[in-house]
Structure 1
Amino acid sequence: MILEILSYVWSFLRLGMSHCTLTLCIAFFTLYVIHWVRVRRHKQSLFARLGIPYVEPHLIHGSLHTLRGRTLATDMLTNWLEKYGDVFGYYIGAKPNIVIKDLDLIRQVLVKDFNNFSNRPKLIIEAQPVIHCIVGLRDQRWKDVRSVLAPTFSMAKMKLMIGIMNERVDELLGIVADHNAKEKPLEWYGLFQGLTLDVICECVLAMKRNCQRDQNDDAFFSATRYFLKHAMNPAIHLAIYFNIFGKVFTFISNQLALSGRMTNMIVSHLKTVLKIRRKDTSRKYIDVLQLMLEAAESQLESDEKDPIFQNETNVPNGTPATTKEHLSETTQKSSREDIKKKNLSDEEIIANAWVFLLAGFETSANSLTSTAYLLACHPDIQEKLYQELCEHIEDGYEHITYETVHKLNYLDQIFAESLRILPPVVTFISRDTNADFQLGDYFIPNDTNILIPVWQIHHDPKLWPEPDKFDPERFSPKVKASETRHPMSYIPFGAGPRGCPGVRFAQLEAKVAIARLVRTHRLETCEQTPIPLTFEMPTVTHIPAKDVILKAVRRE
């Protein structure tokens, strides 16, 4: 069949052009392919020229198909680290990537020499809204936007949102009670996905949903799940292999507004909400969207109170009055322009609300599922947690306060150990070099991606004895005081200025849910519980490959 089609195409071409023209076209195409292969192979010889151990690349995909093959990406990285050492290279298409597991070098990249590694890898397709969020922004604009967003997740702001979290957990406990009445175990990963999406929708997107109960019928829940499951699609792969397609898909996406269903739903909703809130400023809203809006619009007013706007400030003594006035007006105008540049545009507010959903939905569901699973598999640890909860949460008391959460030291240890043994994000901590840089013994060229292998660090027996053992005592105050633990040996949320900005939000949500769940129910394994857990990686996160079935028995 294929031969027949090729024969038909060949006949058509021969009829449509002269033999000479056809020969020239074939010759030109052949020369182009030869040139492309030579350029490609030159790019893929970078690590050989630098003397850095590397994975032998395929001409087209480099090592991407290996990482996206049947073997889990984390398992493949483990194999490569064992073979090539703590620093080695691999290619994604023609793009050089360096894996660094050496903790001192990691600290240099993420913290000490951050200015040389301040950007995340460039987007393959620079589509909206991701180009306007803190994941896609680069250089000075990222710093400006991050400085505006940082106060959004302060302790004071989190105290305002714990009431919403408690209300969403009320719904979760109601579902647990319904299943108990029917004597049915629960699938917890889907349930926690519904919880985290409900919380994010209400706390970030100004959108009230009921994803915990209506998962099968909720279009937004289904669209969000679909988006994350198919984030790595053939179009992305094509753009990775051939840069020209990245530019083509960027143009098509942005000019024709071809976004996914979930993205369109969020962008359309948030545009409407921003218009409403700007018209009615008398009503007070408690959510991240409002905090971003206030931070963006109040910054100009607050910064204008800065001494730089006072007539006599920053003008040398002895300057004539007319000159002083002229210099002052020029300075004020320039400063106002700089401040306006720092304020968030509507596109950036919407984009960052959108990315908070992507960053918090699956990761929070993963961490909650992992913690619940580990507690069910370790009843002694769960019992010790229950005793702590009884000390701080009175019997019959429902909602938990921010202050109470921060008194639960053993819960904090459990959650920290859960994130160590089953980190929700395993291939996302990466940086792009801004310029050529000498990193220890290694010369790192400009425009090289650096990947930090979180899973392998968290399971290194040299750093964590018996790394597969669930032991919250690793994070006890006594152990912390007696051990000298390298700061980069535990990085579930990244490290340095580009670490996760929503870490307080994520931890608070998870701790509220686990505390209230264990205070009222005993989590147990059952016949349907997958032991051990197995995973798959559609994107940069580990997600359970099978349903996580657990029983929740009501405590007397």
Structure 2
Amino acid sequence: MGVTEAAAWVTWTLLVSTVLAYVVYWIHHRRHQHSLFARLGISYVPPHLIYGSNHTLRGRGALATKVVGQWMKQYGKVFGYYVGWQPNLVVADLDLVREILVREFPTFANRPTLVIDAQPVVDSLVGLRDQRWKDVRSVLAPTFSVVKMKYYMGGVINEKINELLSIVSKKVKRGEPIEWHATYQGMTLDVICECALALKTHCQRDQDGDDFFLAVRQFLRNAVNTAILLALYFKVFAKFLSFVSNRLAYSGRMTMMIVNHLRTVITNRRRDSSIKHMDVLQLMLDEAENTQPSDKDCVAEYNSKSGIKRESKKLTDEEIIANAWVFLLGGFETTANTVTYMSYLLAVHPEVQERVYQELCDVLQDSPEELTYEQVHSLKYLDQVFCETLRIYPPAVNFVSREASKDIQVEKSFRFPHVYSFVSRNTVCVIYLNNFII
């Protein structure tokens, strides 16, 4: 064997040995992670080495709530399961839910850490954590007051609903079938785009030809892409997979297109501040400009007693863009689905439909042209129908998830480890809503 062959053999031997050593270490470390619930004395679903229980929970054709319901029958009202390496503790005991989400809320204020740095969600109220979440929320809360929403959004909503009625009326006259879910999706997207994203779209008029409408629907279908799943299973690659998801995946490219548009709009509006636009983006810009940091909250202020570096409550451009984007992320499917289900329930319960119709007639008899904000709030029975629709077909059907910010003993029976586990509440916990009947 020559020197070259010997060197190559040694190199390959070292390489294979290193890989094997890392694989052995990874398996040992993963098994240690999967032993958390056993060490705490909490019953749990036996995990797969790589997937945890995610392949069962999110597998093809699986419904998460039904899977968790089956687990609950087997493991009780408090049990654990793993998503990749991360432990999840399901809590369906109402007293324990109250303890976690009310009495101990400061410890469980944060949502679960995002598996990847998904832009721009990490800068929104969904992704922000601890004090920065509180600061941004305190700035945004006045932005969405009743008076401002009525003034800024009322006209846009009425305009888009009138357009919806016109489209439906024409289809009825022509005897064409109406695909209500797609129709409501178009209306919802038109409202959100104009109110939050400063985009003029025509999703209702031309659904098949509107590129933005088609792109949003495609984005939602591919929101949980392969990069996110791999980050769930292999945390070590999370940063690299964040880049892949944000820059190369379809959902990431779609997001960046909207983010770049919003950044351009913000720059143009700051350049010419004489024109005030009536949308949520303008409200956030105004709030950001009007929020002056006090001496206490000044940027980079140093607290000599605690050694903590404090940040300004003033919104950054990234936070403005992120929260405008979350309007689309959180409002498109949920609103369209709820209105679709409500239409279905009214269709199969004509007696309820008649009562809603009579209530509308009574309210509109003095002003038949257009509903005002105050009149909408006076429609008590319609509100009951809406709430019952949400009870039967909740838009968020999985879990309310919170992450423990520190080790905590709850009701002297369970210990929630800092960072490693978070408490999930599925729809079974919302039992009190079942008492609401139209």
Structure 2 length-normalised TM:
0.90
3-state DSSP class of the match of 2:415? strand
Q: How does 1:127-142 map to 2 (within 5 A)?
A: 127-142=118-133
Cα distance in 2 for partners of 1:16, 1:350 equals: 58
Query: Secondary structure of 1:438's match?
Result: strand
Aligned to 1:453: 426
Q: Deviations over 1:142-166 (max 9, x none)?
A: 1111111111221111211111111
Tell me the residue number matched to 1:54.
44
Deviates further, 89-98 or 129-138:
129-138
Pick one of 375, 391, 396 that aligns with 1:404.
375
Local SS of the residue matching 2:434: coil
Q: CA RMSD in A?
A: 2.7
Distance 2:247 2:167 in 1: 44
Query: Within the alignment, does 1:108 sit opposite 2:99 as a pair?
Result: yes
2:214 is matched with which residue? 222
Query: Residue 264 of structure 1 corresponds to which residue in structure 2?
Result: 256
Q: How does 1:454-469 map to 2 (within 5 A)?
A: 454=427, 456-458=428-430, 460=431, 464=434
Letter in 1 for 2:47: P
What is the aligned partner in structure 2 of residue 75 from structure 1?
66
- Greater shift, 172-181 or 394-403, is seen at 394-403
CA shift for structure 1 position 21: 3.5
Give the distance between the partners of 2:79 and 2:328, measured in 1 at CA. 33
- Aligned pair 1:93/2:84, yes or no? yes
3-state SS of paired residue (1:186): coil
Where in structure 2 are the equivalents of 1:30-49 lying within 5 Å?
30-49=20-39
Q: Which amino acid aligns with 2:172?
A: N
- The change in CA–CA distance for 1:209 and 1:138 in structure 2 (over 3 A counts) is same
The answer for the alignment partner of 2:404 in structure 1 is 433
CA contact (8 A) 1:414 1:472 kept: no
Q: 1:264 to 1:254 in 2, by over 3 A?
A: closer
- Alignment-derived partner of residue 442 in structure 1: 414
For residue 376 of structure 2, what is the amino acid of its counterpart?
V
Q: Secondary structure at the match of 1:429?
A: strand
Q: Is the Cα–Cα contact under 8 Å of residues 131 and 137 in structure 1 kept in the other structure? A: yes
- What is the rounded CA distance, in whole Å, between the counterparts of 1:340 and 1:95 in structure 2? 30
Tell me which amino acid in the other structure corresponds to 1:444. F
Q: Secondary structure at the match of 1:225?
A: helix
- The 8 Å contact of residues 223 and 261 in structure 1, kept in 2 or not, is answered as no
Residues 15/58 of structure 1: CA separation in 2 closer, same or farther (3 Å cut)? farther
Report the alpha carbon displacement of residue 15 of structure 1 after superposing the two structures with TM.
Answer: 7.0
Shift in CA distance, 15/422, structure 1 to aligned 2, threshold 3 Å: farther
1:268 Cα deviation after fit:
1.9
SS at match of 2:312: helix
Name the amino acid aligned to 1:87: V
- How much does 1:282 deviate? 2.3
Alpha-carbon distance change, 281 to 379 in structure 1, aligned in 2, over 3 angstroms: same
Structure (1 or 2) with the larger CA radius of gyration: 1
Distance 1:129 1:264 in 2: 8
Q: How do 1:15-414 residues align onto structure 2 when only pairs under 5 Å count?
A: 18-69=8-59, 70-160=61-151, 161-251=153-243, 260-300=252-292, 334=301, 341-394=312-365, 397-414=368-385
SS in 2 for 1:120: coil
Distance 2:247 2:332 in 1: 28
Cα distance in 2 for partners of 1:27, 1:366 equals 54
Cα deviation, 1:338-370, whole Å, max 9, x if unaligned, reads 997211111111111011110111111111111
Output the CA distance in 2 between the equivalents of 1:443 and 1:332. Answer: 37
CA–CA separation in structure 1 for the residues paired with 2:257 and 2:437: 41
Q: Secondary structure at the match of 1:136?
A: coil
What is the letter of the counterpart of residue 43 of structure 1? Q
* Distance 1:259-1:453 versus aligned 2 partners, 3 A rule: closer
**1:381-420 deviations in whole A, cap 9, x for unaligned?**
1111111111111288232111001111101111111111
Q: Distance in 1 between matches of 2:410 and 2:417?
A: 10
Using the aligned pairs only, state the percent identity: 53
Q: How many Å separate the matches in 2 of 1:40 and 1:452? A: 25
- Structure 1 residues without counterparts, runs of 5 or longer: 1-13, 310-329, 466-470, 474-556
Moved over 4 A (4+): 14-17, 251-259, 330-335
Residue 247 of structure 2 contacts residue 253 of structure 2 at CA under 8 Å; is this kept in 1?
A: no
Change (3 A) 1:185 1:124: same
For structure 2, the 5+ residue unaligned runs are: 303-308
